[in-house]
Amino acid sequence: MDGKRTQPLGIELVKRGIVTEEDISRALDYQKAEPKKKIGDILNILRVCDPYILINAMGEILDEKAIYLREGDLRVNLQDYISLDVAKVNKAIPFDESDGRVKVCFADTSNKRSVETVRLLLLNKGLVMEKYITFETNIDMILNNLGGSSSNIDMNADVSGFLDSVIKTAMEKRASDIHIEPMQDSLRVRYRIDGQLVLAASLDNEKQAQIIGRLKAISNMHQEKQEAQDGRIIMYPEYNIRVSSQKNIYGEKFVLRLLKKNTDVRQIFDLGFPKDEKLVKEAFNKKNSITIIAAPTGEGKTTTLYSIIDYLNRPEINITTIEDPVEIRINGLNQIEIDSKSTFAGSLRTVLRQDPDIILVGEIRDQETAEIAMQAGQTGHYVLSTIHTIDSVEVITRLRKMGVSNYDISSTLATTVSQRLVRKLCPDCARQRDFTETEKRIINEIGEKNGVSFDLEGKKTYDAIGCKKCNNTGYYDRIGIFEVLIVDDNIRELIVNNTSALEIKKAALKTGYLPLVVDGIQKVINGVTNLQELNNKLAIY
């Protein structure tokens, strides 16, 4: 990423306050081992600052248009403009077109041969090129995904074969979801892997009608209807696949949720829960109460519920679950699946007549379900469920807004657990280094704020580099970070008195409650993830 400037890029960035001299020193040390990498790309790899700020500053210094290019920014099919081989050789990606002008990102705009090669190819198509710069790592990641993920997808197969290839490749790639999206000029396929969307394929939208028709057929959806529908694909023995459709301005978008059958239940500690047997017993070994797992959608609430149930499951206990759908079948449990003719509230009423000891309710969605769950907890049962809130204290606020009384909450709510999933560093490519002084300051400030002392003596952290195993993301798989609120007598009194969630949190902090970020920082110190990923999830700095 060289361009016209009077001083080296690093010095210019330091002058502007984008990076520090310490950052440049680290980058130069890195460059000794990787001499072909440019300083700008190394600074991005080391995550010394916000990548959007860094690339825009570099653009100003180099007098080039700049963009932090991600797969979601690709609004055209690359291979409509240049071949994948040309893109890889010249480190170039066409990402948008308007009125005959094609925006193309380059890893190195000073490479005149590459820029001219792509410009002439587009000119032969009657198109004008508008060049941008981005990081080489972003270019490589997108091209590897285009050439890697999609290479397993048979683009030349008939519609049935194409969809089958898309689904099977998603399974091989450990995707949790498949997005099939009609765009203005193409049909885009993306996978969600470890919580991140990755471009898998892009094809002409002339096949859109056939693909949608086939997808509706195998999902048992109405062919004629274009409004939102839900369906299921049952043709893959090892998976339950839930399908959701939604009309947008270019057609119908589909999201396929891949749920693997007969998955072994993971132990609570394997999920990332603090390794404290006393805490587990205090939090979950309950009677006459309710425990609620709280998190946004897609953060692993159901997996945690299963691990708790597995921990509590014994032959002398009658456990019944009410789920939508049943994701994991567990021996010894009575598992009920919600269908179009039933609800959580209605099924819960029936279950209460089945002499249960423990009841798992997949989700508390409304006042009726919340109140019946509370009543179940007050009449000798132990109830476990989930709810959508940002942290464990806000569960109280959410129940209040649903219309549950302070008395019922205080007398029945025993434990709330909040969680998030963060990506784990890829073991094959993570690069060890010392914590920077800035990182140490951030960690220590978080510790002071929450009354915790973190031991950084002799500890190392890791940069996410990227390799073939992790699709060049630097991360592989995810782990939970947790916070646990035990509702003791003091908290109960505050709830009855209608005390705000803020005041309840202040009181809880004095009695051992630790927010999510504390567990997250501990996992950073232990080398499981890094501060950049934790910040992506919790916005801590």
pLDDT at 2: 45
pLDDT per residue as tens digits for the range 76-130: 888 788 887 788 889 999 999 988 899 999 999 999 989 999 999 899 888 999 9
Asked if 291 contacts 284 with a C-beta cutoff of 8 angstroms, the reply is: yes
**Using CA atoms, how far apart are residues 155 and 146, in angstroms rounded to an integer?**
12
Q: Count of CB atoms within 10 A of residue 159's CB?
A: 15
Asked whether 350 and 376 are in contact (CB, 8 A), the reply is no
Lowest-confidence region among 65-69, 126-130, 233-237, 505-509? 233-237
Q: Is pLDDT of 259 > 80?
A: yes
> Which pLDDT score, from 0 to 100, does residue 6 have?
54
Angle 444-450-452 from CA coordinates, rounded to 5°: 60
DSSP H helices in 5-129: 9-15, 21-33, 39-45, 51-62, 84-90, 112-123
The terminus-to-terminus CA distance of the chain in angstroms comes to 28
Over residues 26-50, the mean pLDDT reads 87
Residue 416 forms beta bridges with which residues? 292, 485
pLDDT at 185: 78
DSSP string covering 415-452: EEEEEEEEEEEPTTT-EEEEPPHHHHHHHHHHHHHTT-
What is residue 137's predicted lDDT score, i.e. its pLDDT? Answer: 87
Say if CB 115 and CB 157 are below 8 A apart. Answer: no
Q: What are phi and psi of 213, to 5 degrees?
A: -60, -45
Q: What is the pTM of this model?
A: 0.73
Tell me how far apart the alpha carbons of residues 314 and 330 are, in angstroms, rounded to a whole number: 12
The pLDDT assigned to 148 comes to 47
Report the alpha-carbon angle 254-255-257, nearest 5. 145
Above 50 in pLDDT, residue 206? yes
**What proportion of the chain, given as a percentage, has pLDDT over 70?**
97
Q: What are the beta bridge partners of residue 503?
A: none
Determine the pLDDT at residue 7. Answer: 72
The mean pLDDT value for 413-424 works out to 97
Band (73; pLDDT cuts 50, 70, 90): confident
Res. 421: pLDDT tops 50: yes
Give the residue with greater pLDDT, 124 vs 211: 211
Residue 80 DSSP class: G
Confidence tier at 252 by pLDDT (50, 70, 90): very high
The answer to whether residue 507 scores a pLDDT higher than 60 is yes
User: What average pLDDT score do residues 268-294 get?
Assistant: 91
CA 32 to CA 358: how far, in whole Å?
60
Position 321 pLDDT exceeds 80: yes
User: What's the pLDDT band for 154 if we cut at 50, 70, 90?
Assistant: confident
Whether 153 has a pLDDT exceeding 80, the answer reads: no
Structural tokens at position 529 = 């993830």
CA-to-CA separations, 453 to 385, 518, 521, 535, in angstroms, rounded? 33, 10, 11, 20
- Quick check: helix, strand or coil at residue 200? strand
* Predicted pLDDT at 500: 96
User: pLDDT confidence of 437, banded at 50, 70, 90?
Assistant: very high
pLDDT exceeds 60 at position 8: yes
Secondary structure of residue 29 in the 3-state scheme: helix
In degrees and rounded to multiples of 5, residue 188 shows phi and psi of -100, 135
- The DSSP bridge partners found for residue 360 are 321, 384
Please report the pLDDT score of residue 181 as a whole number: 93
For helices 531-538 and 516-525, give the axis angle rounded to 10 degrees.
160
Q: Inter-axis angle of helices 344-351 and 367-378, to 10 degrees? A: 20
d(CA 51, CA 59): 12
Tell me the C-alpha distance between 415 and 268, whole Å: 16
pLDDT top residue among 179 and 342: 179
Q: How far apart are CA 219 and CA 230, in angstroms?
A: 8
**Residue partners of 55: CB distance under 8 A and separation at least 6:** 40, 44, 66, 67, 68, 133, 134, 135
What is the per-residue burial (b if ≥16 Cβ within 10 Å, else e) of 429-441? bbeeeebbeebee
Residue found by looking up tokens 């310490």 in the block? 22
Distance CA 469, CA 467 (A): 6
8 Å CB contact between 290 and 485: no
Structural domains for the chain: 9-140 (3.30.300.160), 149-260 (3.30.450.90), 277-421+478-515 (3.40.50.300)
Helix (H, G, I), strand (E, B) or coil at 489: helix
Mean pLDDT of the chain: 90
In this predicted structure, what is the pLDDT of residue 227? 84
pLDDT of residue 223: 87
In sequence order, the 6+-apart residues with CB closer than 8 A to the CB of 186 are 76, 77, 80, 202, 203, 204, 205
Rounded Cα distance, 264 and 218, in Å: 27
Average pLDDT estimate for 154-174: 86
As a whole number, mean pLDDT of residues 417-444 equals 94
* Long-range contacts at 371-378 (CB < 8 A, ≥ 24 apart): 371/403, 371/404, 371/408, 372/345, 372/348, 373/290, 373/348, 374/290, 374/404, 374/408, 374/409, 374/412, 376/290, 376/348, 376/352, 377/288, 377/289, 377/290, 377/412, 377/414, 378/288, 378/408, 378/411, 378/412
Q: Give the per-residue pLDDT at 149.
A: 43
Average pLDDT score over residue span 68-82: 84
pLDDT of the residue at 473: 80
Q: How far apart are CA 258 and CA 167, in angstroms?
A: 9
Kindly indicate the confidence band of residue 197, based on its pLDDT and cuts at 50, 70 and 90: confident
- Taking the C-alpha atoms of residue 148 and residue 150, their distance in angstroms, rounded to an integer, is 6
Measured CA to CA, the distance from residue 247 to residue 525 in angstroms comes to 45
Strands 177-182 vs 186-193: parallel, antiparallel or unpaired: antiparallel
